[in-house]
Structure 1
Amino acid sequence: MLQAKAYFDTHHHVGVIDQRIFSGFLEHLGRAVYEGVYDPESPLSDEQGFRRDVLEALRAMRMPLVRYPGGNFVSCYDWTDGIGPREQRPVRVDYAWKSRETNQFGTDEFMAWCQETGIAPMMAVNLGTGTPKEASALLEYCNLPGGTYWADRRIQNGHEQPYDVRLWCLGNEMDGDWQAGHVPAEVYAQRAKAAAIIMKGLDASIETVACGSSGRGMSTYLHWDRTVLEYCWENIDYISAHRYSENRRGDSAWFLAEGVEIDRVVEDYAALLNYVRGVKRSQKRVYLSFDEWNVWYKNMEMDGKGESAPHLLEEVYNLEDALVCAQYLSSFIRHADVVKVACLAQIVNVIAPLLTKRDGLLVQSIYYPIVSFAQHARGLSLVPALECPTYKAGERGDVAALDAAMSYDEASGTVAAFLVNREQRQEMRVVLSLGDQRFCEVLSVEVLGGGDAKAANTWEEPKRVTPRSAEAHVNEAGELIVTVPAPGLAVVRARVSKR
């Protein structure tokens, strides 16, 4: 058995964990909307056509926000197609995913779904083929009380009260040549700044997210972001980052070290944000919105062939995928001073923790760590110092076998530790030490994993990868000792007291 020690101190932290890092993403893509969250023909749907089983599963994930309606989809989307009487809404070709969009689910339906789930909307505007003026019209429709054209249209459509959308994405992945309306960074920055100025002129309380580079593998990485940040700094609140992790090489040891790369991306952005703030001599801060993240590489079918709600990107997730997702969340917690928003892409059917058929729901492996983190990570993010063995992670070299994060809720006097054992063969005995405090009571221990890293839940075997209760104990020195499966995740909650 491997031996490791993780040191923390409640005085050594990076600030409060923003609960918005546990947000999600819903795009008009494949079966995410139709047959996902909305399926009037399913016996499992309510009177609004919303899937009740999906709603219930998502409530456990405690998502503060869901980003909508895209994604690549938004860059050719006319939001006015999705409002008003359903029988009058046009059927459109979806350029992004080569599908047919019926527009039976639009802005008003999404807002009703958000109200049903208790989730706040995070709206994206079309800055690909759309204009800043059109973006401001959508804000007017959503946020203004009445007495103007688009606000009155919302009222005429049966929605008296404004939707009060606080967070707005200024387009999507505009550095990518696959994006409708793709332009150079300088042109996008002008569009984004104009949109932000007009939109904040209508509602000064909103926050805006500018498009960052689409990923670390892009030639635009950080160059694009710097251009946008320097031009838009005073008018935006966040820059976006996207990452999809993959294991095409079939090297689990390499893949389980993905947290190293996630940390690198966040730290790159932290450095860039500080650089631009320094160059501009600004008192203002801009933060990171990591608003697309997940594992995605097995199902790359992206051509809808002109169908409505085609089966696209329906990834099947296994144990190692779940452990990589846990490392994303641990990284966001460790960098709570930089990452304020993060969105799992996506929430149902399309690269998602949930898969539906007309009369059933399959919960995938990645669902469980997301639920555990969202339920237990509260308060301050403590900085870890690790003593642990390393292991050979392929091209990534020697990597720490332990990935760790911890939250501290001063009000309740509790901590939650999130521990990933990247090593596939040996369990890990981890000793947690809290310098200025001592552990006094273990409240819960939940572990996920052990055994086959490729194990996955299926319709035939839906409980193959699920969390189970475990034990931990406190020693005489006030340290907490827990065993983490190989490979696996342990989430430990405990009560602490001052020494």
Structure 2
Amino acid sequence: MNEINPDAVILPEIYGQFAEHLGACIYGGLWVGPESPIPNTQGYRNDVLQALRDLKVPVMRWPGGCFADEYHWRDGIGPAKDRPTQVNNNWGGTVEDNSFGTNEFFNLCELLGCEPYLSGNVGSGSVEELAQWVEYITAEEGPMARLRKENGREKPWKLKYLGVGNESWGCGGNFTPEYYADVYRRYQTYCRDFSGNKLYKIASGASDYDYKWTDVLMEKAHRHMHGISLHYYTVTTWSGSKGAATKFTPEDYYWTMGKCLEIEPVIEKHAAIMDKYDPKKNVGLLVDEWGTWWDVEPGTNPGHLYQQNTMRDAMVAALSLNVFQRHTDRVKMTNIAQVANVLQSMVLTRGDQMVLTPTYYVFKMYIPHQGATPIPLDVTTTRMDVRGERAVDLLQATASRKDGRIAVSLTNVDLDKDMDVEIALGDTKVKNIEGSILTAASIDDYNDFGQPEKVTLKPFKGAKASKGTVKVHLPAKSIVTLLID
């Protein structure tokens, strides 16, 4: 292990979540309403609430996604019976009753103890609409505060993270970067700090390899932003079949690992552009949409993006989180897409049943890294060439220190071969080692309502301390976290 940088920290927000009005993410996933026979607290599912509390979710992004730029917040306030319905034109033509709106979202964040991250409507909204939404949420007094109080909330909520639009290069308005930069500057001007609340304003940033978008926005607007977003999906194609979530070849699997790891050079290139205009790194890079994207499960609405979640997806989660932890100088938040029933979700629900996904368990394994100091690692490993396109290191690792305890997360990407790994600790004396492991009999194993614990966390006993090192026997296709005292 190399020398620790005492000034670095792995922000908890790197383990953020994303909840969009899409399929059963909100309705049925997080929210069933107070009259539901499904056990709930004020309308929020008890099982999902507890699962997310156990993850120590630091931040939740809402209401989109593409939905954000068609969402008008006044439709989602007041008595639920009086709220107008809305057609979700982006995702399957679902008719929504708007029973989950501003009050419900902010109350959920309070129940979870997490920061709210609001995506504002720029594509079809107005400056006045977004400015008044911020005032409704955060002001102590004034017309919007009176409206909030009439709707049952006396004190303002706290709102730190405000996104000014979403994917403004696409579903959020099909803007050019030059035009959006001017629009962003205008909108953020009127989103004010009320009653001691301090906004962290986030510009709608690039999709994966669009470096021009970042360059233009940073040149024209970086002095007016606290953060800029980046979206990167581990996806095979944007046209035609993306492949099944549960049926794939070993070659498909290794290609997926390479694609997922490619987020690192993408982050580095965007960060280098940001450095030109912001060498002191005042502007954060927020990867506020990431994860796998496969074909929907057979028989489900194509617009609802319901996909299963296998051990392969868990590996993508671990490798991606490792990358984010290596770039804490720029990466200040990430939000996996999405929290429930959509894409690479934490939980799946069906009626009153809930299943935790393999990805959920990765996030649980990485809790010890939240708020810790990253420890740089020199990793010696075997490299695999995949289709002549990418090279994949078969051992992936990340480490951190917090309150005198070292956390090391190791991933053996190899489908067939175990690894013997040595972790050099120098003069550190080991008193105790605790470990957990996530693996499966097959890389395409997953949890479903008939088999909810096919892939689950188990204690790991394959690590031993010996003369300044920890020796680890790492099974094939496994993720291990060690806590070293």
Q: Give the structure-2-normalised TM-score.
A: 0.92
Amino acid corresponding to residue 21 of structure 1 in structure 2? I
Amino acid corresponding to residue 289 of structure 1 in structure 2? L
Tell me, what secondary structure is at the counterpart of 2:218? helix
Alignment pair present for 1:92 and 2:86: yes
Alignment partners' CA distance in 1, 2:299 and 2:119: 21
Deviations 1:104-152 (A, max 9, x none): 1100111111122222211111011112221111100001101x11111
Deviations 1:189-228 (A, max 9, x none): 1121112222136577210111111233xxxx01011111
Alignment pair present for 1:135 and 2:130: yes
Amino acid corresponding to residue 278 of structure 2 in structure 1? R
Instruction: From 469, 473, 478, give the equivalent of 1:483.
Output: 473
* More displaced 10-residue stretch of structure 1: 384-393 or 252-261: 252-261
Deviations 1:260-317 (A, max 9, x none): 3021122122211102225xxxx5621111111111112189996xxxxx98111101
Q: Do the aligned partners of 1:355 and 1:363 also contact (CA within 8 Å) in 2?
A: yes
Amino acid corresponding to residue 444 of structure 1 in structure 2? E
Counterpart residue number, 1:166: 160
Counterpart residue number, 1:4: none
Alignment partners' CA distance in 2, 1:14 and 1:272: 23
Tell me, what secondary structure is at the counterpart of 1:441? coil
Counterpart residue number, 1:307: none
Change (3 A) 1:421 1:258: farther
Alignment pair present for 1:156 and 2:156: no
Counterparts in 2 of 1:404-443, with a 5 A limit?
A: 404-409=397-402, 412-435=403-426, 437-443=427-433
Alignment partners' CA distance in 1, 2:281 and 2:383: 40
Deviations 1:325-377 (A, max 9, x none): 11111111111111111111111111212111112101111110011112444
CA deviation after TM superposition for structure 1 residue 242, in Å: 1.0
Change (3 A) 1:229 1:136: same
Amino acid corresponding to residue 261 of structure 1 in structure 2? E
Alignment pair present for 1:57 and 2:66: no
Deviations 1:65-106 (A, max 9, x none): 101111100111111100112121111222222221211110
Instruction: From 330, 339, 349, give the equivalent of 1:347.
Output: 339
Alignment partners' CA distance in 1, 2:161 and 2:299: 28
Alignment partners' CA distance in 2, 1:260 and 1:65: 24
Change (3 A) 1:12 1:120: closer
Counterparts in 2 of 1:464-475, with a 5 A limit?
A: 464-475=454-465
Root-mean-square deviation over aligned CA pairs = 2.2
Instruction: Give percent identity, aligned residues only.
Output: 29
CA deviation after TM superposition for structure 1 residue 48, in Å: 1.5
Amino acid corresponding to residue 43 of structure 2 in structure 1? G
Alignment pair present for 1:366 and 2:359: yes
CA deviation after TM superposition for structure 1 residue 43, in Å: 2.8
Alignment partners' CA distance in 2, 1:15 and 1:76: 38
Alignment partners' CA distance in 1, 2:115 and 2:292: 24
Alignment partners' CA distance in 2, 1:118 and 1:201: 22
Counterpart residue number, 1:126: 121
Tell me, what secondary structure is at the counterpart of 1:403? strand
Counterpart residue number, 1:274: 275
Counterpart residue number, 1:291: 288
CA deviation after TM superposition for structure 1 residue 15, in Å: 1.1
Tell me, what secondary structure is at the counterpart of 1:257? helix
Alignment partners' CA distance in 1, 2:229 and 2:78: 32
Counterpart residue number, 1:244: 233
Amino acid corresponding to residue 481 of structure 1 in structure 2? K
Q: Do the aligned partners of 1:442 and 1:473 also contact (CA within 8 Å) in 2?
A: no
Alignment pair present for 1:70 and 2:59: no
Amino acid corresponding to residue 334 of structure 1 in structure 2? R
Change (3 A) 1:270 1:95: same
Tell me, what secondary structure is at the counterpart of 1:399? strand
CA deviation after TM superposition for structure 1 residue 12, in Å: 4.9
Q: Do the aligned partners of 1:14 and 1:335 also contact (CA within 8 Å) in 2?
A: no
Q: Do the aligned partners of 1:451 and 1:486 also contact (CA within 8 Å) in 2?
A: no
Tell me, what secondary structure is at the counterpart of 2:265? helix
Amino acid corresponding to residue 128 of structure 2 in structure 1? K
Change (3 A) 1:301 1:155: farther
Alignment partners' CA distance in 1, 2:442 and 2:470: 27
Alignment partners' CA distance in 1, 2:73 and 2:290: 25
Tell me, what secondary structure is at the counterpart of 1:93? strand
Alignment partners' CA distance in 1, 2:46 and 2:304: 22
Alignment partners' CA distance in 1, 2:159 and 2:298: 33
Amino acid corresponding to residue 115 of structure 1 in structure 2? E
Alignment partners' CA distance in 2, 1:298 and 1:14: 42
Q: Do the aligned partners of 2:396 and 2:411 also contact (CA within 8 Å) in 1?
A: yes
Counterpart residue number, 2:77: 83
Counterpart residue number, 1:401: 394
* More displaced 10-residue stretch of structure 1: 164-173 or 91-100: 91-100
Alignment partners' CA distance in 2, 1:253 and 1:303: 27
Deviations 1:156-196 (A, max 9, x none): 111111011011011100111xx153211112111211122
Counterpart residue number, 1:463: 453
Tell me, what secondary structure is at the counterpart of 1:440? coil
Change (3 A) 1:265 1:301: farther
Q: Do the aligned partners of 1:186 and 1:228 also contact (CA within 8 Å) in 2?
A: yes
Q: Do the aligned partners of 1:31 and 1:311 also contact (CA within 8 Å) in 2?
A: no
Q: Do the aligned partners of 2:10 and 2:373 also contact (CA within 8 Å) in 1?
A: yes
CA deviation after TM superposition for structure 1 residue 439, in Å: 4.3
Q: Give the structure-1-normalised TM-score.
A: 0.89
